[in-house]
Chains A and B, each alone.
Chain A
């Protein structure tokens, strides 16, 4: 494992911890989006650009968007 990969894996671990420890739902959504972005970087560093692109569109954009809409549905309803 080269140092760059180790550093990114460390960042992903920190991101995962942040997601687990966040309690507020909106912040949690942002945290999980950032965590997904860190995963994208990890996949890029591991030379898997196709998987990185999929993670980018689903994890960073699609999933948080659905959650944000669901949260605001819940709050207005």
Chain B
């Protein structure tokens, strides 16, 4: 196909797409004019039924907890796949030391790692009070560990995140989520149905089993992201060692 033809085809399809988009956006309900009943029902009932102030957490870890179970295992399976593929290819070659020479980068990086870790734990712990939760907070905690590596402390990073501990955390996070669901069954209700004391709304001691599922998710997500990064990193240093020899 020649250039004018391609440009002509692009012009026609771009015009069509633009028209469709504008039509669709024009038909959207106004901001703040949500039409469905589901959100209103949840907003009205979740704080009273589950004593949580972040309705999103109540949906993710309670009313739609089963969906989150699936998501947990998607992450678990994909990180497991990466680990299986990369660990098999690598044969322990390519250990390397700390390459960072700038004291300023090291100081700032390590200083922020502590702040980031605390922020991540805060986001996890307050998941059912304010926006956040196990998934978002878990990634922030994992990022704090990665920052230790980026500050040039490779050995420190590996000492903070031993692969065995990360493997166990990932498995027990994903498995623990399912076990909490089975505890619901043993207590005579539906799978993943909320149990435990509901506590006082607006405090950390609230939400029943939402808190446990939140922590299980945080454990799984933190370990999954750290493992993913470590596998890539080890692969990189193995390739570099191979290139040198």
Give A contacts to B, CB under 8 Å: 1-2, 5, 46, 49-50, 52-54, 56-58, 61-62, 65-66, 69-70, 72-73, 76-77
Complex Cα gap A19–B89 (Å): 33
B25 to A: closest C-beta gap in Å: 8
Complex Cα gap A46–B146 (Å): 31
Query: Is B23 engaged at the interface, CB distance under 8 Å to the other chain?
Result: no
Kindly identify which residue among A54, A70, A76 contacts B232, using a CB–CB cutoff of 8 Å: A70
Q: Is the CB of B232 within 8 A of A62?
A: no
Kindly identify which residue among B132, B133, B139 contacts A62, using a CB–CB cutoff of 8 Å: B139
* Closest B residue to A56 using CB positions: B136
Complex Cα gap A3–B74 (Å): 39
Query: Is B229 engaged at the interface, CB distance under 8 Å to the other chain?
Result: yes
Q: Mark B21-58, 1 if CB is under 8 A from A, else 0.
A: 00000000011000000000000000000000010100
The total of Cβ contacts below 8 Å across the A-B interface reads: 50
Query: Is B143 engaged at the interface, CB distance under 8 Å to the other chain?
Result: yes
Query: Is B19 engaged at the interface, CB distance under 8 Å to the other chain?
Result: no
Residues 217-236 (chain B) with a chain A CB within 8 angstroms: 225, 228-229, 232-233, 235-236
Q: Interface residues of B: mostly helix, strand, loop or mixed?
A: helix
* Closest A residue to B132 using CB positions: A53
A43 to B: closest C-beta gap in Å: 10
B245 to A: closest C-beta gap in Å: 13
Q: Mark B150-179, 1 if CB is under 8 A from A, else 0.
A: 000000000000000000000000000000
Q: Is the CB of B239 within 8 A of A73?
A: yes
Contacting residues, chain B, for A52 (C-beta < 8 A): 131
Complex Cα gap A58–B140 (Å): 10
Question: 28 A-B pairs, CB-CB below 8 angstroms?
Answer: A1-B31, A2-B31, A5-B31, A46-B31, A49-B131, A50-B56, A50-B131, A50-B132, A50-B136, A52-B131, A53-B123, A53-B131, A53-B136, A54-B136, A56-B136, A57-B136, A57-B140, A61-B143, A62-B139, A65-B229, A66-B228, A66-B232, A69-B229, A69-B232, A69-B236, A76-B236, A76-B239, A76-B243
